């Protein structure tokens, strides 16, 4: 045996092409196996509608046990009924209705999950308070509203994680944080929303580092989600008369977003971007061409 000497430029090019081919080919292999979720215990917040609801159905179909939470009991009952239809006959499906602006309820949710499922493998933090888009005026109304938004969109995430952490460490589980492009790139008319999403990146990025430092085998996946055609997102844009965005940018389907998030969590990815191109490219360009990215963001939001 001998290794052929690589002498000519042509030969080098072939080697380079082969290496690139292997890298590209490797990156196209989908190593997500939905069967890996069979029997796993999943808690999903904000699961009465939108992406959260669709995640509950995917998880049930993949054989996981699911505890869903949100405010509206009636919607949660419907989601649980559908999970029972889609999931394993011996699967565990429950709900607990809770208002995340009351931080006491975060502990109740985790306690309920443990009492119903016996453990937690995936903590999927997805809920938000839906806030009308608007210009920040610094008015008393703006300021009082901010407190509730910060409680629901940020503090409750930290509280839920803190209560669930002992159980996640035991199961070597995963924290899946649903964020937004607005948590990587600031956009107009959603300053407080955007700041809570940036805050999640900061807190959970720090937590991920600490897990590595103390050999804690819990993964943290931050999900950077772009425009998805959920009822709440679309009606919010319509109420704010964002017809340019609605007519020119194709919103992704909620079940596809839900699948991408579940896949990222199962693969213990550090971050996922969905829809990939719009969210990844803008996030990358944010540091290289900040003014251009700002311009794009101002351009797509029209004010009449
Ligand atoms: C918050 O939730 C707890 C537990 O359900 C309840 O006892 C308390 O009254 C609630 N607080 C408010 C301000 O609604
Ligand atoms: C701020 O308050 C003004 C009225 O005081 C309102 O028109 C505007 O929509 C509010 N903006 C936000 C982001 O809440």
List, for residues 4-18, the tens digit of each pLDDT value.
565 677 878 888 888
> Pocket around ligand 2: residues whose beta carbon is below 6 Å from it?
134-137, 139, 141-142, 145
E strand intervals along the chain: 41-45, 65-70, 93-97, 122-125, 174-180, 219-225, 271-274
The average pLDDT across 89-109 equals 98
Q: How confident is the model at residue 25 (pLDDT cuts 50, 70, 90)?
A: confident
The DSSP secondary-structure symbol of 68 reads E
Q: What percent of the chain shows pLDDT beyond 90?
A: 78
Q: Ligand 2: which atom is nearest the Cα of residue 189?
A: 13
Compute the Cα dihedral for 154, 160, 164, 168 and give only its sign: negative
Q: Measure 266 CA to ligand 2 centroid, in angstroms.
A: 40
Q: Measure 156 CA to ligand 1 centroid, in angstroms.
A: 14
Question: Does ligand 1 lie within 6 Å of residue 102's CB atom?
Answer: yes
Q: Which of 136-145, 249-258, 293-302 has the lowest mean pLDDT?
A: 293-302
Separation CA 144–CA 122 (nearest Å): 33
The average pLDDT across 17-28 equals 79
Separation CA 241–CA 98 (nearest Å): 32
The average pLDDT across 262-278 equals 97
Do residues 263 and 251 make contact, with C-beta atoms less than 8 angstroms apart? no
In this predicted structure, the answer to whether residue 169 has a pLDDT above a threshold of 70 is yes
Q: What angle do CA 261, 242, 154 make, to 5 degrees?
A: 40
Q: Which residue has the higher pLDDT, 58 or 247?
A: 58
Separation CA 237–CA 30 (nearest Å): 34
Query: How far, in Å, are 18, 65, 208, 218, 284 from residue 82 at the CA level?
Result: 48, 13, 34, 30, 39
193 an active-site residue?
yes
Q: 196-230: per-residue pLDDT in tens?
A: 999 999 999 999 999 999 999 999 999 999 999 89
The one catalytic residue in 57, 193, 259, 273 is: 193
Q: Which residue has the higher pLDDT, 31 or 54?
A: 54
Q: Which pLDDT belongs to residue 167?
A: 98
Nearest CA residue ID for atom 11, ligand 2 = 134
Nearest CA residue ID for atom 8, ligand 2 = 134
Q: Which residue has the higher pLDDT, 111 or 28?
A: 111
Closest-approaching ligand to the CA atom of 108: 1
Nearest CA residue ID for atom 14, ligand 1 = 102
Instruction: Identify which of 71, 73, 101, 104 to mutate to test ligand 1's pocket (most ligand atoms within 8 A of the CB).
Output: 104
**Cβ atoms < 10 Å from Cβ of 179:** 25
In this predicted structure, the answer to whether residue 195 has a pLDDT above a threshold of 80 is yes
Residue with tokens 């607005």: 182
Nearest CA residue ID for atom 5, ligand 2 = 139
Closest-approaching ligand to the CA atom of 103: 1
The average pLDDT across 175-179 equals 98
Q: Which pLDDT belongs to residue 3?
A: 55
In this predicted structure, the answer to whether residue 240 has a pLDDT above a threshold of 90 is no
Q: Which pLDDT belongs to residue 212?
A: 98
Q: Which of 4-18, 25-39, 68-82 has the lowest mean pLDDT?
A: 4-18
Q: Which pLDDT belongs to residue 6?
A: 59
Closest-approaching ligand to the CA atom of 151: 1
Buried b (16+ CB within 10 A) or exposed e, 130-164: ebebbeeeeeeeeeebbeebbbbbbbbbbbbbebb
């Amino acid at each position: 045996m001998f290794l052929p000497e690589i002498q000519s430029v042509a030969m080098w090019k072939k080697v380079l092409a082969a290496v690139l081919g292997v890298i590209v080919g490797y990156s196209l292999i989908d190593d997500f196996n939905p069967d890996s979720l069979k029997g796993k215990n999943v808690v999903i917040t904000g699961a009465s509608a939108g992406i959260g609801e669709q995640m509950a159905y995917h998880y049930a179909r993949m054989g996981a046990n699911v505890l869903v939470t949100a405010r509206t009991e009636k919607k949660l009952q419907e989601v649980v009924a559908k999970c029972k239809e889609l999931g394993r006959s011996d699967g565990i499906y429950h709900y607990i209705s809770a208002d995340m602006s009351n931080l006491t309820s975060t502990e109740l949710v985790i306690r309920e999950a443990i009492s119903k499922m016996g453990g937690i493998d995936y903590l999927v933090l997805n809920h938000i308070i839906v806030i009308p888009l608007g210009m920040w005026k610094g008015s008393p109304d703006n300021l009082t509203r901010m407190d509730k938004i910060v409680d629901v969109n940020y503090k409750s995430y930290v509280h839920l994680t803190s209560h669930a952490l002992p159980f996640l460490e035991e199961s070597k589980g995963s924290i899946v944080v649903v964020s937004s492009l607005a948590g990587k790139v600031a956009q107009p008319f959603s300053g407080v929303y955007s700041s809570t999403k940036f805050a999640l990146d900061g807190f959970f990025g720090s937590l991920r580092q600490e897990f590595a430092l103390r050999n804690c085998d819990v993964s943290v996946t931050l999900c950077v989600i772009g425009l998805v055609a959920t009822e709440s997102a679309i009606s919010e844009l319509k109420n704010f008369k964002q017809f340019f965005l609605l007519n020119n940018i194709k919103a992704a389907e909620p079940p596809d977003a839900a699948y991408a998030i579940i896949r990222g969590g199962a693969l213990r990815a550090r971050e996922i971007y969905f829809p990939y191109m719009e969210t990844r490219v803008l996030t990358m360009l944010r540091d290289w061409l900040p003014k251009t990215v700002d311009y794009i963001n101002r351009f797509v939001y029209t004010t009449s």
